[in-house]
Amino acid sequence: MSLLPHWSSLSLPQQVAQLLVVRASGHLFDQQIQYPAWEPTAATLRHWIQDLGVGGVILLGGSAAELALRTQQLQQWARIPLLLAADIEEGVGQRFAGATEFPPPMALGEIAKTNEEWAIALAAAMGATTAQEALAIGLNWILAPTCDVNNNPANPVINVRAFGETPAQVSPLVTAFIQGVHRFPALTCAKHFPGHGDTTTDSHLDLPLIPHAWQRLRQVELPPFQAAIAAGVDAVMSAHLLIPALDEQFPATLSHRILTEELRANLGFSGLVVTDALVMGAIANRYGANEAPVMAVEAGADILMMPIDPPGAIQALCDAVESGRIGRDRLHASLQRIWQAKQKVWASVSGDATHAWENLPAPPIQLEQIAQPAAIATSQQIVQAAMRVHRLTPSRFTPRSPARNLILLDDALNCDVLPPTAAAVALPQQWGYTLQVIDRHTPLVPLPVPGEGQPTLLQLFIRGNPFRGSAGLSQTAKDWFTALVTSQQLQALVVYGSPYILEALLPELPADVPYVFSYGQMPQAQAIALKTLLGSAG
């Protein structure tokens, strides 16, 4: 059956625009925009969708309920249904308040070390919950799972976003997550091809280089992507990496050798190839705003994620097609793959794969699907099972007053995990502790010395994150930890986020100081960690 309007009925600029996924705020109103350099105003966004016909939107910010209204608004503006995506590797609640949030994927890898079968079941449940909640608020493309093998502890951008440190750990969990998502009509995305795990540079800031031989890449980096392809992953996201063993000149996102010859031809992937965000420093700092999109399509990309200048990118791509630089067959192949992906998620609305899905209304909001008890219980299971605990005998941490609850983190002003009611704040307060929060904005505070100060519960919130530039301890955290140990004021330690932080501290940590490590940083993980430290994990 012919689908109308099929992409062949669109003008060249409209066809090209379908390749673009633009960034937008999940909030409804312009005054709520948090990243004005990346997030357009409502009028501009509506113009891009309604008039230019961009093919999709990637969203960040807002509550789950607000995002549900936002996705319906965007679909109403669109002539052709949109791909609506989000980086929700840790559940919908990672980005949109109120929905279920899971600890990072490496928590599942930790569980798999002792019980792989259970970890696989939990990964599938995590994928299914993420898909169910995403669809309930109008998202149809989950930019997960992360298939990178985090074999470099200093990796500043992947870190705990990976399922593990070896392909044997990562591959089965990637497969399970994809299978869980595919219980629902949502799209998946394996990232970041051909493997971002062994870098010490954040590609959001600069271009990392992978120096390894091709044989090593085939043995370590590629197997999780092969597993994802075998599991039917819908899309593969390119990495902004320079890999001389494959292409001495171009990063993977702009490399025909990597995207077309390796991913398409050698690995046999037939789904969508999507770039990582083109606004990231690794690409934006080296290639023109409108040249990079053309180079990415030449290399084999179907979807251009977050181009710096969407109208300029559309014009540059049209010029490239009209000049013969990009063949029309090449453009049409991408459009066909985009149509197939859109049909997969939209045909499910009518239950008829032959229906003219382009004319269907947006699916209804289903907020009752958000944060169901079973989903929250699964998240708590993962947090609990992946924790590392060192308690003394008797196995009770005994709060002492007056004592200090010292929380160290990167940026308290931009931290969703520490509202005033968060367990890391509220529970020690109930125990009589005074709160002190230190971040990179805090003026220098005198460090404790022997004979002065007070018993201190030290809580560290540290993990690798995009734009952080480091996966390690800040100098402030190092100084405070050392001073508390030296002055014998460290009563207990809780680390939320990266296991590499705990491992860096353990050589200096006295054996008589209890500690808890939690992969999760969200308030429910804080409560589990602190109650475990207290000896009452229920």
Q: Which residues are identified as catalytic? A: 204, 276
406, two tokens? 């010292």
Establish how many alpha carbons lie within 13 A of residue 383's alpha carbon, considering only the half-sphere containing its beta carbon: 31
388-390/515-518 β-pairing: antiparallel
Give the number of other Cβ atoms within 10 Å of residue 180's Cβ. 24
Question: In angstroms, rounded to a whole number, what is the distance separating the alpha carbons of residues 469 and 208?
Answer: 12
Give the number of other Cβ atoms within 10 Å of residue 533's Cβ. 24
Burial class from Cβ neighbours inside 10 Å (0-12, 13-18, 19+) for residue 221 reads buried
Q: What is the DSSP letter of 215?
A: H
Establish how many alpha carbons lie within 13 A of residue 70's alpha carbon, considering only the half-sphere containing its beta carbon: 26
- For 69, residues 6+ apart whose C-beta sits below 8 A from its C-beta are 28, 365
Residue 85, beta-bridge partner list = 58, 141
Instruction: Return the closest-CA partner of residue 38 out of 54, 13, 17, 60.
Output: 60
Using the CB atoms, write b or e for 195-211: b if 16+ within 10 Å: bbbbbebbbbbebbebe
402, two tokens? 């007056």
Range list of H helices, 233-327 = 256, 281-284, 291-299, 310-323
Range list of H helices, 300-389 = 310-323, 328-350, 373-386
Question: In angstroms, rounded to a whole number, what is the distance separating the alpha carbons of residues 518 and 388?
Answer: 7
Whether the CB-CB separation of 53 and 14 falls below 8 Å is answered with yes
104, two tokens? 């990072």
Question: In angstroms, rounded to a whole number, what is the distance separating the alpha carbons of residues 138 and 396?
Answer: 46
Whether the CB-CB separation of 347 and 355 falls below 8 Å is answered with yes
Give the number of other Cβ atoms within 10 Å of residue 235's Cβ. 24
Question: In angstroms, rounded to a whole number, what is the distance separating the alpha carbons of residues 227 and 236?
Answer: 12
Residue bearing tokens 């402030």:
476
Would the CA dihedral through 55, 258, 250, 195 be positive or negative? Answer: positive
535, two tokens? 């000896």
Residue 428: asked if its preceding bond is cis (omega within 30°), the reply is: no
Distance, first Cα to last Cα, the chain: 57
